[in-house]
Chains A and B, each alone.
Chain A
Amino acid sequence: MAKKNIRTILRENAVTIMFVVLCIIGLYFSGQSVSFVMYELFGRISRNAFLVLALIIPIIAGMGINFAVTIGAMAAQISALWIVEWGIGGLGGFMLAVLMTLPIAAVFGFLIGKLLNKMKGQEMIGGLILGYFANGLYQLLFLFIFGNIIPLNAPGLVIKGSSGVANTINLASENGIKYALDGMLRMPVKDAVYWAAGIGIAIMLILLALKKADRKKAINSCIALALAAGLITIPAVNELFSLASVPTVTFIVILMLCLFNNALLKTKLGQQFRAVGQNRVVANAAGINVDRTRVIAIMISTVLAGWGQLIFVQNMGSFQTYGAHEQVGLYAGAAILVGGASIKKATNGQALLGTILFHLLFIVAPAAGKNIFGDAAVGEYFRVFISYGVIALALVMHTWRGVKKKKDKQPEMEKA
């Protein structure tokens, strides 16, 4: 294979590069201080990254972006409602919600998977529409069944003199789950970097001693970690992160999901995901149960999305009962695409980079819009427009690349 030239690199990473440029422009015009942006960014990463990471498995299994994560979010909100009703707060409440979400989201995921198997090749549009449809059932559940057929007693959960669950569910009350996860081991960025560097280097050295890691890689990562620690020691750099603080446990959970994704792909099941994602016919001929593999992929994704939504709402402290789940699929999908993933390939790194860039733009866009156009709404409009635009662009580029590949192949074949 020939060395990739700059044009190919630019073309293959067009979306990511465009976003970096947009973020820099936005940052410049927003007039916001870096430390404020960092503060916002850390918060947004901690609440969104998990959801974005939940999309990786279905992409690898060849099902595109799982827009049906919306339904996983619904499962999470059902659990969240009940722990509020029961008045179980704090970490215990959060863990209970996590446990409750698991079976609910798994059942939903199973049904979604079954349905998507009936519409192979149309999974993305299928998932999107399924999300809208499920929203109807969700509303029926929350407006009519909960509070009427199944009575709810917790104060503020039902609108007085009306029926159905209130518009907003508050998790910030005394025994709510606000910051159940984020509040634990919260520390300044500087400390967090020191800890991360220390533990990271220790793990690398242990692995090296056990001869389980590639020598060069291990040394490189040790140097990188040490550099990061050194960098944060510089007061000017530390100043940039002065407002931000790290919800350590949440970040550890996100890290664990990354490791989970990686480990899963190294198992037999992961191999099946990858095989099914590349070519269903070949996978089937090898005796892999294609339909079952796809259902498992969607189930995993739906459960993870549910947990992601729980992390999201515990950070926010409340959620819009009828709206919090609606944009989950769209924003997570846009974020992973921004990070350079395609609807065929995605990695943890792309998901995390995408989350950072996408939310960076979200932070700076309103202020930038206000400064450039004199109206914050323009910036707001801009970021919504961008998220749809990114998805559309990614889809077009996917098709376009396919055509291009076919054309590139032509002369090669004639040579042979």
Chain B
Amino acid sequence: MKDNYILEMQGITKRYDENTVLEDVNLSVRPGEIHALLGENGAGKSTLMNVLFGMPVIHNTGGFEGQVFLDGEKVDISSPNEAMQKGIGMVHQEFMLLPEFTITENIKLNREITAPNIVSRVFGKNLETLNMPAMASDARKALDAVGMGIDEYIQVAGLPIGYMQFIEIAREIDKTGIKLLVFDEPTAVLTESEADNLIKVMKKIAASGIAIILITHRLDEVIEAADSVTILRDGKLVANCETKDTTTIQLAELMVGRRGESVVSIERRELATDKIALEVRDLHVDMAGEEVKGVDFNVYEGEIFGIGGLAGQGKIGIPNGLMGLYEATGEVSFYGKPIKLGDPKIPLSNGMAMVSEDRKGVGLMLDESIEDNIVFNAMQVKDEYLVKFPLFSLRDSSKIRKQAESMIEELDIRCTGPEQHTGTLSGGNQQKVCIAKALTLQPKFLFVSEPTRGIDIGAKRLVLNTLVRLSREEGITIMMVSSELQELRSIADRIAIVSKGEIVDILPPDAPDVDFGLAMSGIKPDTHREEREEA
């Protein structure tokens, strides 16, 4: 049956040191079909494509196990250039276009049509003159193929994003002998109508015999566009099926799934919703790659409010915008008092504190001691831990030491003492210092962004238990942003799922997997309620 497939990847396993990111994954694509590759962040989609394209990152880390067949022939692709020559093309998520070039120049970039001249006969092909009219007519053909009527001599800078995507596609189509096109989350940056248009074009391309791999985490897109689908979860192949045999619901369940035991288990509690701690209306945050486009929510006093969603959808932008670290607009009030956005000092002095996702960049001064890190914000924002003199103040060493020691004990920070530099601590202990730093401000409200990223399971448990204790015993209201859904579901009281910069839904932690899966791909779970009941 091999002959029926244009691409077959068999038993692909990839390890980075001890860490297995792909385990025995198979992927088969027939000519002229749209094959969706579905999975959450970190499921292994990108790694699989890196293997296909022979990216250096694969070869520099010991290669991979398994076999790749192209047109039934075993191939060994060792560089992206080779992949290109074998007829595999990629439409990038980040547009690979030059803004100051015209559409034609972009489409024909480094594949220019040239005419020899006197100089080039002596010095070689590189000095041949560009044949712009011929290039333009090729570009025209490619643009027509994707159904774009735009003038091929227009400069790319200033075009709408949707157009740029089509220019990328036109460039790939223009390459001769293209057999397989990979679309990397093509609709992530598009508006709905642009996305619909794109799917139409993809179908048109597929109809001409070119196979398409569509990398995505949007379920409705899979159902609408793809003929077959491969689902990855945690580097493993979960399912491989025809789209017509499946439903959005099934896909959602397969994509999210239950993953092992939760790190901590705590008892549910009744949430008191009488007092609103933080009210957010129409929040927009301009954070590159994590843009927030208008979210509204309330956080009740004493709760743990979780924010989940896939990377790049804007969940991290929410705490960063609220804390004034990135430019933001919107109305925010804290216990009824309006908070001006854009200046970190305002939320800090109003009793909010944040544990940043960027531990090493924003959270800690790595060359300073633990104790200095812990009291730094309190010193700067609240003028605490200082001995005051008429014209200047000095740091109050004994008070600082006392605070640091109590924090080290309370949070079980493993260190040689309060004077150890934070740069030499392990990730988990650094995270604890970050929490200690936030707690030293004695906040009423704590933002915690990706608290368990990159730390081991023991430290994870400790961090999560600490958060629970802070919430239940000390009454601190917590907003926790995390990519690990399981983690949010184990400690949060409510979980908001963010997609495309907006909150899709706020779910209780014990909502079924399907609901989370749908929400993460941008579909409000309610809309599929009936469909599910039928199933």
Contacts and interface: CB of A to CB of B under 8 A. Distances in A.
A is bound by B: yes
Interface of A: 1, 263-264, 266-272, 274-275, 278-279, 281-283, 285-288, 410, 416
Contact of A275 (B109, B127, B161): B109
B130 A287 contact: no
A275 B99 CA distance: 10
B176 interface: no
Nearest to A265: B130
The 10 nearest A-B residue pairs measured at CB: A286-B110, A286-B109, A269-B126, A278-B98, A282-B96, A285-B96, A267-B127, A288-B110, A287-B110, A268-B114
B81 interface: yes
B23 interface: no
A415 to B, nearest CB: 11
A271 B130 contact: yes
Interface string B101-128: 1000100011110100000100001111
B383 interface: no
Contacts of A274: 98, 100-101
22 contacts: A266-B129, A266-B130, A268-B112, A268-B130, A269-B127, A272-B126, A274-B100, A275-B101, A275-B109, A275-B110, A278-B98, A278-B99, A278-B100, A279-B98, A282-B96, A282-B98, A286-B96, A286-B111, A287-B84, A288-B109, A288-B110, A410-B286
Contact of A281 (B96, B99, B125): B96
Question: Looking at A274, A281, A287, which has the most chain B CB atoms within 10 Å of its CB?
Answer: A287
B96 A268 contact: no
A278 B101 contact: yes
Interface in B152-174: 158, 160-161
Contacts of A269: 126-127
Given A278-B100, A416-B160, A267 B130 contact: yes
Given A278-B99, A278-B100, A271 B286 contact: no
B168 to A, nearest CB: 11
Interface residues of B, number: 28
A279 B95 CA distance: 11
B533 to A, nearest CB: 39
Contacts of B130: 266-268, 270-271
Contacts of A272: 110, 126
Given A271-B130, A272-B110, 9 more contacts: A266-B129, A267-B127, A268-B112, A268-B127, A270-B130, A271-B110, A275-B98, A275-B101, A275-B110
A170 B99 CA distance: 51
Contact of B112 (A264, A271, A282): A271
A347 to B, nearest CB: 13
B97 interface: yes
Nearest to A260: B119
Interface of B: 80-81, 84, 92, 96-101, 105, 109-112, 114, 120, 125-130, 158, 160-161, 191, 286
Contacts of A1: 158
A230 to B, nearest CB: 36
A267 B127 CA distance: 5
B85 to A, nearest CB: 10
Contacts of A275: 98, 101, 109-110
Contacts, number: 65
A282 to B, nearest CB: 5
B128 A267 contact: yes
Contacts of B120: 267
B97 A268 contact: no
A364 B109 CA distance: 48
A270 B100 CA distance: 14
B113 to A, nearest CB: 9
Nearest to B125: A268
A269 B129 CA distance: 9
A350 to B, nearest CB: 16
Nearest to B284: A414
A264 to B, nearest CB: 8
Contacts of A266: 129-130
Contacts of A288: 109-110
Given A278-B100, A282-B96, A282-B98, A268 B109 contact: no
A263 B191 CA distance: 42
B129 A271 contact: no
Contacts of A410: 286
A306 B98 CA distance: 32
A283 B96 CA distance: 8
A1 B158 CA distance: 8
Contacts of B125: 268
A312 B105 CA distance: 38
Given A286-B109, A287-B84, A287-B110, A267 B126 contact: yes
A264 B84 CA distance: 28
B114 A267 contact: yes
Nearest to A270: B130
A279 B126 CA distance: 20
B81 A287 contact: yes
Contacts of A281: 96
A287 B128 CA distance: 18
A201 B203 CA distance: 56
A9 B101 CA distance: 22
A1 B159 CA distance: 10
A212 to B, nearest CB: 13
Contacts of A279: 98
A270 B110 CA distance: 11
Question: Looking at B98, B125, B158, which has the most chain A CB atoms within 10 Å of its CB?
Answer: B98
B128 A268 contact: yes
A271 to B, nearest CB: 6
B126 A268 contact: yes
Nearest to B112: A268
Given A275-B110, A288-B110, A282 B97 contact: yes
A309 to B, nearest CB: 24
B65 to A, nearest CB: 27
Contacts of A278: 98-101
A266 B84 CA distance: 26
Contacts of B191: 416
Contacts of B92: 285
Nearest to B191: A416
Contacts of B81: 287
A267 B129 contact: yes
Contacts of B80: 285
Contacts of B97: 282
B446 to A, nearest CB: 31
Contacts of A287: 81, 84, 110
A262 to B, nearest CB: 11
B187 to A, nearest CB: 16
A416 B126 CA distance: 41
Question: Looking at B92, B97, B99, B127, which has the most chain A CB atoms within 10 Å of its CB?
Answer: B127
Contacts of A268: 112, 114, 125-128, 130
A56 to B, nearest CB: 16
A176 B100 CA distance: 48
Contacts of B110: 271-272, 275, 283, 286-288
A117 B112 CA distance: 25
B91 to A, nearest CB: 12
B88 to A, nearest CB: 14
Question: Looking at A266, A268, A279, A288, which has the most chain B CB atoms within 10 Å of its CB?
Answer: A268
